Structure 1
Amino acid sequence: MKSRADDKKTRAQAHPALDTIKSRVEERVAAAGLSKNEASRRAGLGLSYVNDLLAGKSLNPTRESLAKLGQVLDTDADYFFGTQGTPRISSHPVSNLLPIEMPQSTAGTIPLFHIGLPDPDGFFPLVAERRASWTSPLLVSRDVYAITVPDDCMAPRYRMGEVALVSPSKPVVHGGFAVVRQTDDRVAIRQIITISADKIVVRCLDTNADIDLPRKNVKALERVIASCELV
């Protein structure tokens, strides 16, 4: 039998928002029409993650784990923690945010931007003079464009000189990769860690450094859907 001291220690170890986390995870699992085991498996958290959380066996879930679960349940991590009122805060509209007019692609031909050196903060402009028509080896939709990867800050996922294919219309998910477009229309490829009402947390893979970007400075997130060698 647990002593009063043991109970006090357990409460101290528990996340202060644990009850909210549990109720909202249960709500979103039900809304997704998934079993707890299936939601856990799809999130890459093992079969018992959600069951352990709801049963009180996991008392202090991490933001990283809940962000992975949120990808499966179409939910921002901040919703689980109770700091966000709705399951998902959509990103800014992205269908017409390219700084220059994009030609419609035909027969697999899409715009390709050859990127020079990034600015000191890692962002770079998409310059019309460095745009060319390029026949993608992959079947892509008409709104997709491509950029050459300018450096190795996203290695080993994307390496300098490869081509990243970008879809402005596909939704961006936590843990996924996107072109982050700032309000000055400079862009950078980053991993999206979390999206909240006031900031977007992104990551560079070469250093595993997370960077907070004020949401007011981000015009759009445009999903990276594939990459390939430039041939």
Structure 2
Amino acid sequence: MRHDDIWRAIDTLAAERGLSPSALARQAGLDPTSFNPSKRRTPDGRLRWPSTESLAKILDSTGARLEEFSALVTGARAMAEVRPKGRTRLPLIGMAQAGGDGYFDDGGYPAGAGWNEIELPSVADANAYALSISGESMLPVYRPGDTVIVSPAAPVRQGDRVVTRTSDGAVMAKLLLQRTANRVELASLNPEFPDLRFQTRDILWLHRIVWASQ
């Protein structure tokens, strides 16, 4: 276990919950500066490790299991998703292409001949599709080149990771913070990117991410 790996795991756990490292510490009842980068080494350069008590508190406050956190430490890029059994071929397109015309129909389902195919774990939704992540707004959970499976049929709840298309044609992967009759609030998992707010009428569809390559 390396020092950098355990801090990366803490950063990823925070991002999975839509939090900065400081907000994660605060939620766990710790000093908000506990996980700041400046606290990860002593003034003379020695490595500073989080205490087992701190780790226990962040696991308790987020509901994450020790096994899930251990997987992050050993190299997993995201918390484990529930993976359906079996494999299937799904339509695949790059996130950067997805905002173009002709790739989705009016219902938000894959359409047209511009899609490639990829073999991935199967899902029950016959309209499921795969996207190749681009950009840095979802770091450290999703990295450029990662593949996510998106299910239009899956129920979407607050806190879910979603793919959405806006009325101006933008397609993006975000975290759903809140959805009301009038407003939709979305967050980037990367805390360096700002939250986004839309009028509900400006969101054409929201589809839930149900699986991600790691």
Structure 2 CA distance, aligned partners of 1:198 and 1:111?
32
Residue 109 (structure 2) aligns with:
none
Residue 83 (structure 2) aligns with:
none
Structure 2 CA distance, aligned partners of 1:177 and 1:107?
22
Residue of 198, 203, 207 corresponding to 1:218: 203
**TM-score for both structures, normalised by structure 1:** 0.47
Matched, 1:132 2:116: yes
Measure how far apart 1:167 and its partner are.
Answer: 0.2
Residue of 174, 178, 194 corresponding to 1:209: 194
Structure 2 CA distance, aligned partners of 1:116 and 1:182?
14
Residue of 63, 87, 92 corresponding to 1:112: 92
Q: What does 1:91-170 correspond to in 2, within 5 Å? A: 108-116=88-96, 124-125=99-100, 127=103, 128=112, 130-136=114-120, 138-141=121-124, 142-170=126-154
One-letter code of the match for 2:172?
Answer: A
Unaligned runs of 5+ in 1: 1-44, 47-105, 118-122
Residue of 158, 183, 190 corresponding to 2:167: 183
Deviations 1:157-203 (A, max 9, x none): 21111001100000111111101122345311110000111110000
Measure how far apart 1:220 and its partner are.
Answer: 1.2
Unaligned runs of 5+ in 2: 1-26, 29-85, 104-111
140-149 or 201-210, which moves further after superposition?
201-210
Do the aligned residues in 1 keep the contact of 2:137 with 2:193 (CA within 8 Å)?
no
Deviations 1:106-133 (A, max 9, x none): 960110112337xxxxx83374464112
**TM-score for both structures, normalised by structure 2:** 0.50
| CA RMSD between the two structures | 2.7
Structure 1 CA distance, aligned partners of 2:90 and 2:131?
10
Structure 1 CA distance, aligned partners of 2:193 and 2:169?
25
**Identity across matched positions, percent:** 21
Structure label with greater radius of gyration:
1
Structure 1 CA distance, aligned partners of 2:117 and 2:139?
26
**Which SS does the other structure have where 2:201 is aligned?**
helix
Structure 1 CA distance, aligned partners of 2:193 and 2:168?
25
